[in-house]
């Protein structure tokens, strides 16, 4: 389970990680969209964040009952106590960390983030980072994804997974 703020690279790195591990990859936001028959933005606009989070919780729970895979979670998914508990029970969580400056550069490339619409990305990301860090800190593995390429981030995750396996 890859967790972290929007723009940290969960989906891109997740695809590479799945390939490296010989597993399937799923993006939780895409799975929510498929289940709802509408985009994340439409869900937010039509039903609000609470309805989105409810659907997200159900989709992640379903995915956790499937065979092992790599899942990129939406930025707020791991903050939900029920989702976090299920992930701790069924999987390994990897927090991809990045500084706010890096995230601002990355999220500015696309205008598809409902939580940023009509707001200053820097202040939103700073606020989200402060609010979500206590939950993210409970992840099994922490990886700095702010510097270097997606391949560098993948290499750091693979080393951390190998070290975790060696300790078990």
Binding residues for Mg(2+): 11
φ/ψ of 96, rounded to 5, equals: -90, 115
**3-state SS of the chain: helix, strand, coil percent to 5?**
60, 10, 30
Annotated binding site for ATP: 7-12, 113
Dist. CA 94–CA 134, nearest whole Å: 14
Classified as helix, coil or strand, 24 is strand
Annotated binding site: 7-12, 29, 53, 75, 113, 132
Annotated binding site for substrate: 29, 53, 75, 132
Question: Would you tell me how many other CB atoms lie within 10 Å of the CB of residue 26?
Answer: 21
Measure the CA angle with vertex 9, ends 40 and 99; round to 5°: 110
């Amino acid at each position: 389970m890859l967790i972290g703020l929007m723009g940290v690279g969960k989906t891109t790195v997740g695809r590479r990680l799945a390939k490296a591990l010989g597993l399937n990859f799923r993006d939780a936001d895409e799975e929510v969209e498929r289940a709802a028959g509408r985009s994340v933005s439409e869900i937010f606009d039509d039903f609000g964040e609470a309805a989105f989070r409810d659907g997200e919780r159900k989709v992640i729970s379903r995915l956790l009952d499937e065979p092992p895979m790599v899942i990129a979670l939406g930025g707020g998914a791991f903050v939900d106590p029920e989702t976090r508990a299920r992930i701790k029970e069924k999987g390994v969580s990897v927090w991809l960390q990045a500084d706010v400056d890096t995230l601002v550069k990355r999220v500015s490339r696309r205008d598809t983030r409902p939580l940023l619409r009509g707001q200053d990305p820097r202040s939103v990301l700073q606020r989200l980072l402060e609010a979500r860090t206590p939950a993210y800190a409970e992840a099994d593995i922490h990886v700095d994804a702010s510097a270097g390429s997606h391949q560098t981030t993948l290499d750091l995750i693979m080393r951390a997974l190998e070290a975790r396996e060696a300790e078990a």
